[in-house]
Structure 1
Amino acid sequence: MRDFPSCFGESGVQVSDASSNSSKTSQNLVTCIYSTHLCGTSCMISITWSKNIMGQCLSIGVDDSNNQSLCKVDIKPWLFSKRKGSKSTEADNTKVDVFWDLSNAKFGSGPEPVEGFYVAVLFDFHIVLLLGDLLKEAYRKTNAGPPPHNATFIAKKEHIFGKKIYCTKAQFCDRGQAHDLMIECETIGLKDPCLVIRVDKKRVMVVKRLLWKFRGNQTILVDGLPVEVFWDVHNWLFDSSMGNAVFMFQTCASNEKSLMWGSSQMLTEPQLWRLGFSLILYAWKSE
């Protein structure tokens, strides 16, 4: 969770990307962040799906409200095994159990399963996070009932690839509607490149004179809610060896938005998550 963008400046957004020096073979991953409670205090659960030549991988981390790691469970590639199972550990004197079944999971173009699976995280034998569509199987395997309050989906980080058009599915709030998100930007051979963002094929944002506005922010409306879009396409325009641009879609109340870019203070990740839902996209140009 520590490589999420977290630095906002007065004249736009300076988005740090700790992954920019990684090889592209390691960038086929999606990280989702959920907020819940452990022993009465707030904590965050990170679910990271990744894919390599050995198969799919799953990593689950639990951090406290100060962004300190409490525990981590890694499920290695299951190309030949470990498609279902469980692991136990402890966090802050609390037993943490992880159950998963991906033996019949179906995957799309990315490393994140879309159906036919479940992943359950339990604190002291109580489900705090349940993902997937095999709910009955998860309750039967864990011997636990539905959680009184499932963890809240607060952030997602994803790597996307393209030459001119970059597409993904976007959910801008917990349990919100899924939208088709498209980022268009042609930078090769153009004196005046332009950035276009579409939601469900509808054009919601256009940035002209991109050579001068390679970093910035702008508000769009999605489902009637304001969503602040931050972009940093410096590498696309001026450093092709790096290759990636960074976009963040942030939902928050209007009084909180002014706090974010009205000052030059650094915001920690827990502070950032409390402002609303964050979708961070690392957009890589394909060869």
Structure 2
Amino acid sequence: MIPACFSQSNTVSCNNNTSNHQVPQNLITCIYQTHLCNSPTYLTLTWSKTLFSHSLTIYATDSFSITISLNPSTFSFFKTRPGSKSIYLNHHHYQRIKLYWDFTRAEFTRNSAEPDSGFYVAISCNAKLEFFLGDLHDELTRQSGLALTRQLSEPTLLSRREHVFGRRNYVSRAQFLGTKHEIGIECSGGVLKVKVDGEIRLVVKRSREKINEEELIGFVGVWLNTVGDMVVVVAVMFKCVAMGGGEQ
């Protein structure tokens, strides 16, 4: 949600009750395909950030769900430390897995709920590393004794969804078919621009006709690339609040 999008600077939302009680929440949800205890598993990682909290929820269907607090306080001595937790899988004959994490040195892009670097999330089964996300391989080995091997395949990212609140600009990074791309959204002067790797791919302008709706929800698709028979599409859904009337 980008409040400045399609709105005039002096415009105030009509629904003050809703805006006053709504806490902005940035969410990034990634679904990975991996293996746990020799069984194909879909892991859903949801990174959540609000003004007062920052957390990661890891969920596997019919198996387990756990939420890790990344930054429970702004005071340094209360910040999260490396951790681990044993979990029993319900539909795997109660096999035990162990979850490891470390976000003490995590680096984040501005307003992003997901770290860019300086972290790891790992899952082992029977003392064998089966899932790893992040870049602190040596730190994981020091904490757990687990080591990355050639047999460990990289988890497959099936989908990624971002729900963000911002003023005027938002930048995200995503990987498609092995290539990393930067996706940017800019809102100013009644114009929404979508950029891919710095190149403008879409421009949406506010209608010159007076708009009475309190908010507008839009969905756009941006063609990105074609590889063989596969077409990669970046889909952007935006919600513009505090709509301003009058012509621009």
Same topology, TM > 0.5 = yes
Following the alignment from structure 2 to structure 1, what is the Cα–Cα distance between the partners of residues 132 and 28? 17
RMSD over aligned CA atoms reads: 3.6
Q: 1:223 to 1:203 in 2, by over 3 A?
A: farther
Aligned pair 1:71/2:64, yes or no?
yes
CA distance in 1, matches of 2:129, 2:220: 38
Change (3 A) 1:166 1:120: same
| Corresponding residue of 1:85 | 83
Structure 2 unmatched ranges of 5 or more: 1-17, 209-216, 244-248
Query: Which residue of the partner structure matches residue 169 of structure 1?
Result: 172
Equivalent of 1:45, from 43, 46, 66? 43
SS where residue 150 of structure 1 aligns?
coil
**Cα gap change, 1:166/1:228 in structure 2, threshold over 3 Å: closer, same or farther?**
same
Question: Match for residue 11 of structure 2?
Answer: none
The residue type equivalent to 1:148 in the other structure is: L
**TM-score, structure 1 normalization:** 0.58
Retained in 2: the 8 A contact 1:56–1:78? Answer: yes
Contact map agreement 2:137 2:147 (CA 8 A) in 1: no
Q: How far off its partner does 1:208 sit?
A: 6.8
Q: Could you report, residue by residue, the CA deviation over 1:189-239 in whole angstroms, capped at 9, with x for unpaired residues? A: xxxxx654211221223457879xx75654512476632344555x53xx6
**For the Cα contact (< 8 Å) 1:34–1:153, is it kept in 2?**
yes
Cα 1:105/1:182, change in 2 over 3 Å: closer
Aligned AA (1:138): L
SS in 1 for 2:113: coil
Residue 120 of structure 1, CA deviation: 1.0
2-structure distance, mates of 1:26, 1:96 = 34
Alignment of 1:74-113 (within 5 A): 74-76=67-69, 77-79=71-73, 80-91=78-89, 92=91, 93-109=94-110, 110-113=112-115
For residues 83 and 54 of structure 1, do their structure 2 counterparts lie closer, same or farther at Cα, with a shift above 3 Å needed? farther
Distance 1:148 1:71, change over 3 A: same
Q: Give the Cα–Cα distance (whole angstroms) in 2 for the partners of residues 210 and 52 of structure 1.
A: 32
- Give the Å deviation of 1:85: 1.2
Q: Structure 1 residues 34 and 55, CA, compared in 2 at 3 Å: closer, same or farther?
A: same
Match 2:34 to one of 33, 36, 51: 36
How many pairs are equivalent? Answer: 207
Matched residue, 1:158 = 162
CA separation of 1:230 and 1:47: change in aligned 2, threshold 3 A: closer
CA distance 1:174–1:143, change in 2 (3 Å): farther
Q: Which residue of 1 aligns with 2:117?
A: 115
Are the aligned partners of 1:218 and 1:228 in contact in 2 as well (CA < 8 Å)?
A: yes
Larger gyration radius, structure 1 or structure 2: 2
Distance in 2 (alpha carbons) for counterparts of 1:118 and 1:175: 20
| Aligned-residue identity in percent | 29
Report 1 or 2 for greater relative contact order, CA contacts < 8 Å, sequence distance ≥ 6.
2
Query: Paired residue for 1:58?
Result: 56
Amino acid at match of 1:73: I
* CA gap 1:208/1:116 in 2 versus in 1, 3 angstroms: closer
Assess if the C-alpha contact under 8 Å between 2:195 and 2:202 holds in 1: yes
CA contact (8 A) 1:36 1:152 kept: yes
1:155-234 aligned at under 5 Å gives the runs: 155-163=159-167, 165-173=168-176, 175-177=178-180, 179-185=181-187, 188=190, 195-206=192-203, 218=221, 220-222=223-225, 226-233=231-238
CA contact (8 A) 1:73 1:87 kept: no
Distance in 2, Cα, partners of 1:166 & 1:29: 16
Q: If the length of structure 2 is used for normalisation, what is the TM-score?
A: 0.66
Contact 1:32 1:153 (8 Å CA) reproduced = yes
Answer with 218-227 or 28-37: which moved more: 218-227
Cα distance in 2, alignment partners of residues 171 and 232 from structure 1: 16
Query: Could you list the per-position Cα deviations for residues 57-96 of structure 1 after superposition, in whole angstroms to 9, with x for gaps in the alignment?
Result: 2221112xxxxx3101222354315421101111122212
Contact residue 201 and residue 222 of structure 2 kept, 8 A: no
1:143 shift after superposition: 2.2
Question: Which residue matches 1:264?
Answer: none
